[in-house]
Amino acid sequence: MLICHCNLITEKEIEQTIRSLLAADPWGLIVPAKVYHALQKRGRCCGCFPNVVETIIRVTEDFHRELGEEAAESVTFLDRVRGLRRQHEGNNEGRQKGHRAA
Ligand code: FES
Query: Sign (positive/negative) of CA torsion 43, 48, 54, 56?
Result: negative
Query: Sign (positive/negative) of CA torsion 21, 83, 79, 55?
Result: negative
Best substitution site from 1, 2, 6 to test ligand 1's pocket, by max atoms within 8 Å of Cβ? 6
> What's the gap in Å between 28 CA and the centre of ligand 1?
24
According to the model, what pLDDT value does residue 91 have? 60
- Helices 11-24 and 49-67 meet at what angle, rounded to 10? 50
As a whole number, the mean pLDDT across the chain is 84
According to the model, what pLDDT value does residue 58 have? 93
- What is the average per-residue pLDDT within 36-46? 95
Residue 82: what residue type?
Answer: R
- Cβ atoms of 52 and 3 within 8 Å: the answer is yes
According to the model, what pLDDT value does residue 64 have? 86
According to the model, what pLDDT value does residue 100 have? 56
What predicted TM-score, i.e. pTM, was given to this entire model?
0.74
Helix (H, G, I), strand (E, B) or coil at 93: coil
> What's the gap in Å between 81 CA and the centre of ligand 1?
22
